[in-house]
Amino acid sequence: MSQNRLLKGIDWTVLILGFLIVTFGIMNVYSVNPDLGEKQLIWFGLGMVMILCLIIASGNNRNFFEIYSPVFYIVSLILLVGVLIVGKEINGAKAWYRFGPLSLQPAEFAKIGTALLIANFINHSNANLKDISFVGKVLLVIAIPVALILLQPDLGSVIIFCSFSIALYREGLNPWIIIAPIILLVIFLISIVQIPFYVLLILGFIILTIALLILAFNYNQNVIDAMHGILIGLSIFFLLLIGICYLVEDLSESTRESFGHLFPMRALFFSEPIFFNTVFFGLIGFAISIIPVLILKLTEQKEMNNSPFKTQNGLSANVLNFSIIVSIVLLLFASTVSFISPIIFEKLPKHQKERVMVLYEGEAKYRDTSGYNLLYAKTAIGSGELYGKGYNQGTIKKGRFVPEQQTDYIFTAVGEEWGFIGSTALVIVYAIFVGRLFFLAENQKNKFARFYGYSVASILFFHFFINISMVIGLFPTVGIPLPFFSYGGSSLWGFTILIGIFLIIHYKNSQGFI
């Protein structure tokens, strides 16, 4: 086989960018702690040995990883179960195996096994992400490792499993299955610090505005019928919200005090202004929602040749009824989430509540507890200014003011010693690196390789985006390392194997192996 033939399928862009990131990461870990920097170099070398073993094991079989994907998945589950029994508890989470000086976090490898098995499912001829039963099987594959990781508990790793939504969307998953949980999460976070009645009123008016805009600029009869169904659902929702407000207002004084204890974050939760505003704006929302429906009912018997409301048989009963039911169910579900959010939040451990409240109230208020890391992380990054203080010259780093700076907060060392230019360059390299992986994934010849490639790129994107957002105060503090950069053998091996498998699959597909 010629040299050109052998080199075909090797993506030099990913390899070069990956080695640049790893090298720069080891340099920064070494700057924070020379001993750990040397160990990180050893971990990376061992990771390369693991990739070599995978190359040898897969041989010329292009379908090796698809065939053995159930094995990868089952082994990862066994490791997750085992760590709950014999694992070492670190920072409140029983998520690590300890073998002398070596620690191993099985959650890093569970992402690989899950990605491979779902890719196997997707590649079957009868796979259909429009089929609820098939979607249920895929979600079950994700839910099992997520449940085991929650038992540790390791919230950071659980969040990363949400990255599979990007790959599933690419393969045809209904986007609302992804969007709906995001909306509910936003409602949960907002309802922690805002009056639920106000949150729901705003949600109702946002949906109302969108529905009216679609009605005004759409001529598709099914869409028009669906929007009118949503408007009817909204009118019922606004009336129910007013009814709940009256019910709360009529509670006895002792009951109000009990409810007030359940909602300690809400000042004057049952005050007169809240009652008046809810009723007033609820009636306005009800009127705006029902008027277009009434107009249609009054005019549906007339000829409306130039009107988007033209209909031959009135409202389509199936579309209308379905839209009414779905809109009411979803709005009631959102209302339930909003009202119980403060109760759930109040039951969280103190440090977890503070991590969320830091986003709303700033790190200065919690500088002696959960805001400490963020306060000094921002200080370190800001002190680097444009060009940085120079390699190994960070004063905040040397003072050890930022805990876990070699792991989750390694980006602070980049900001302090390499400045805005160095930090920006690193972000750009990461963006190109992840973008290239998405590009390669999209151009794969089969669904297995494409889905796995999208999963790899999505996992790396989530790690990168959340870690940087966490360090600069745009996301709560969670244990999510920066890929190929943060210190740790488990994470470095996990990322190396994750990408290594994809590059092996890409190479074999390019070579046309059987």
Q: What is the mean pLDDT of residues 459-488?
A: 88
More confident position, 404 or 495: 495
pLDDT surpassing 60 at residue 268: no
Confidence of residue 329 (pLDDT cuts 50, 70, 90): confident
310 has pLDDT over 60: no
Listed ranges 228-232, 248-252, 321-325, 356-360; the one with the highest mean pLDDT: 228-232
Strands (E), 69-216: 88-90, 93-99, 102-104
Q: Which two tokens stand for residue 486?
A: 């943060």
Closest CA to 292 of 313, 269, 308, 275: 308
Q: Burial letters for 61-90: b for 16+ Cβ neighbours within 10 Å, e otherwise?
A: ebbbbbebbeebbeebbebbeebeeebeee
Residue that wins the pLDDT comparison between 222 and 30: 30
How far apart CA 316 and CA 403 sit, in angstroms, is 62
State mean pLDDT over 9-32: 91
The pLDDT of residue 188 is 85
Tokens (6 digits) for 428: 């750009």
The separation between CA 288 and the C-alpha centre of its own chain, rounded to angstroms, equals: 35
- Band (pLDDT 50/70/90 cuts) for residue 513 is low
User: Taking residues 30-59, what's their average pLDDT?
Assistant: 91
510 compared with 142, residue with greater pLDDT: 142
Q: Would you say 141 and 133 are in contact if contact means Cβ atoms under 8 Å apart?
A: no
Residues in the chain: 514
**pLDDT for res 279:** 86
Mean pLDDT of 185-196: 84
DSSP 364: G
Does residue 506 carry a pLDDT above 70? yes
CB 24 within 8 A of CB 426: yes
DSSP assignment string, 241-262: HHHHHHHHHTS-HHHHHHHHHH
Contacts of 54 (CB under 8 A, 6+ apart): 497, 500, 501, 504
Whether the per-residue pLDDT at 315 is higher than 60: the answer is no
The string of DSSP letters for 47-107 reads HHHHHHHHHHHHTT-TTHHHHTHHHHHHHHHHHHHHHHHHPEEETTEEEEEEETTEEE-TH
Which of 145, 148, 140, 108 is closest to 121 using CA atoms?
140
The pLDDT mean for the chain works out to 83
- Segment 290-295 shows an average pLDDT of 83
Percent composition of the chain: helix, strand, coil (DSSP 3-state, to 5): 75, 5, 25
The residues, ordered by sequence, that sit 6+ positions from 417 with a Cβ below 8 Å of its Cβ are 28, 31, 384, 388, 389, 390, 391, 392, 393, 394, 397
**Total-model pTM:** 0.81
Helix ranges, 250-384 (H): 253-262, 272-299, 317-347, 350-361, 372-383
- pLDDT surpassing 60 at residue 317: no
Token pair belonging to 31: 């700057």
pLDDT exceeds cutoff 70 at 4: no
Single out the residue of 375, 464, 368, 382 nearest to residue 419, CA to CA.
Answer: 382
Whole-number pLDDT of residue 272: 67
Please give the pLDDT value at position 503: 93
Percentage above 90 pLDDT, the chain: 33
pLDDT for 162-182, tens place per residue? Answer: 899 999 999 888 887 778 778
pLDDT for the residue 311: 44
Rounded to an integer, the average pLDDT of 303-307 is: 46
